[in-house]
Amino acid sequence: MAHPHPNENVGNGTDQRPLPLAGVKVVELGTLIAGPYATSLLAQFGAEVIKIESPAGGAPLRTWRKLHKGTSYWWYSQSRNKKSVTLNLKSPRAQQIVRDLVRDADIVIENFRPGSFEALGLGWEVLSAINPKLVTVLVSGYGQTGPYKDRPGFAAIAESMGGLRYLAGYPDRPPVRVGVNSTPRSPRGRRSAISTRCSTCSKQPTCRADGSPPRPTSTKTRITQRARWSAASSCPTAEKIEALRREGIV
């Protein structure tokens, strides 16, 4: 059953022009921040986002951290302008419903551990065969390949692996969390949304310079990479570090 959210219809004041992504259909299979944040950006620009939730209590984000009247503030922020469908993805019937949704969808975004989507019979090969124009976006902690691909990815882990935690804190204490919440996950969501839009644009004949037909596209992003970029852009020079060391600050 679909559950429209209170702010399903995006208002833009007295301007009645359609939003840029009006008519774009997105199927979201994600939890917490990175994947859902990407789809929330697409929804803000007019895309129809159908969020798949577990029937056992719904998405974890509904009750994550600070609550207002029993619902997380994060949920209000991340899930506005979306529709929800509750499905037990381990059920063959639910998996078929997802495949049916994908038939006329433009985009699928998921942020499960690599291999989980494929184990449900919903991998790229299956979905792209159903809908050759489909764009899939796979968001994970360490990417879809490599020695760390099976590890979970969270902000605290990404900040540590990327070096951000090394830059924050005090000289006589363990590293502390950086001052911006979900630093790696929110930028990763933004990059996922941008990559998604570029991929959907490439499937439109008017967007392809060579006029070639659209082809299936799979976009992959990882959280730890973003944390490393953030740390690199924040790093002071060697000269600055030495000056701070002489002053006893580091």
* Residue 178 pLDDT level (bands cut at 50, 70, 90): confident
Q: Over the chain, what is the mean pLDDT?
A: 75
Of residues 242 and 212, more confidently modeled: 242
Strands 71-72, 135-140: pairing kind? unpaired
Of residues 184 and 118, more confidently modeled: 118
* Residue 220 pLDDT level (bands cut at 50, 70, 90): low
**Per mean pLDDT, which range of 43-47, 123-127, 163-167 is the poorest?**
163-167
pLDDT recorded at residue 2: 47
* Residue 196 pLDDT level (bands cut at 50, 70, 90): low
Q: Is the pLDDT of residue 129 over 50?
A: yes
d(CA 97, CA 89): 9
What pairs with residue 92 in β-bridges?
none
Angle at 178 between CA 172 and CA 184, to 5 degrees: 140
pTM above 0.75, yes or no: no
Q: Is 83 exposed, middle or buried (0-12, 13-18, 19+ CB in 10 A)?
A: middle
Q: Determine if residue 44 is left, alpha or beta; phi over 0 gives left, psi from -120 to 50 gives alpha, anything else beta.
A: alpha
Q: Is the pLDDT of residue 10 over 60?
A: no
Q: Is the pLDDT of residue 96 over 80?
A: yes
